[in-house]
A = this chain, B = another copy of it.
Amino acid sequence: MTNWTLAARAAKMNPSVIREILKVTEKPGIISLAGGLPSPKTFPIQEFAQACASVLAHDGQSALQYAASEGYPALREAVASWLPWDVDPAQVLITTGSQQGLDLVAKVLADTGSRVLVETPTYLGALQAFTPMEPHIVSVASDDQGPLVEDFVAQAGSGADAARFMYLLPNFQNPTGRTMSEERRAALSAKAAELGIPLVEDNPYGDLWFDQPPPAPLTARNPEGCIYLGSFSKVLAPGLRLGYVVAPKAIYPKLLQAKQAADLHTPSFNQRIVAEVLKDGFLARHVPTIRALYKHQRDAMLAALEREMAGLGVQWNSPAGGMFLWVRLPEGMNAIELLPKAVERNVAFVPGAAFYADHGDPRTLRLSFVTASAAQIDTGIAALAATIRQAL
Contacts and interface: CB of A to CB of B under 8 A. Distances in A.
A266 interface: yes
A181 interface: no
Interface size class of A (residues with CB under 8 A): 35 or more
Interface in A1-18: 1-10, 13-16
A83 interface: no
A67 B241 CA distance: 10
A1 B248 CA distance: 9
Interface in A163-213: 164-165, 196, 198
A270 B242 CA distance: 12
A198 B4 CA distance: 7
Given A49-B52, A129-B261, A267-B240, A2 B224 contact: yes
A9 B262 CA distance: 14
Stoichiometry, as copies per complex, reads 2
Given A261-B129, A267-B267, A239 B43 contact: no
Nearest to A95: B263
Interface stretch (A97-105, A322-330, A357-365): A97-105
Contacts of A49: 52-53, 56-57, 60
A127 to B, nearest CB: 9
B40 A108 contact: no
A284 interface: no
30 contacts: A2-B248, A5-B109, A6-B108, A7-B108, A7-B109, A7-B114, A7-B133, A10-B109, A15-B253, A15-B257, A38-B65, A40-B64, A43-B60, A45-B56, A45-B61, A48-B60, A52-B56, A62-B239, A64-B239, A65-B237, A100-B262, A103-B262, A107-B132, A125-B261, A239-B269, A240-B269, A241-B264, A241-B266, A262-B262, A263-B263
Interface of A: 1-10, 13-16, 19, 35-38, 40, 43, 45, 48-49, 52-53, 56-57, 60-67, 95-97, 99-100, 103, 107-112, 114, 125, 128-129, 131-133, 162, 164-165, 196, 198, 224-225, 233, 237-241, 248, 250-251, 253-254, 257-258, 260-270
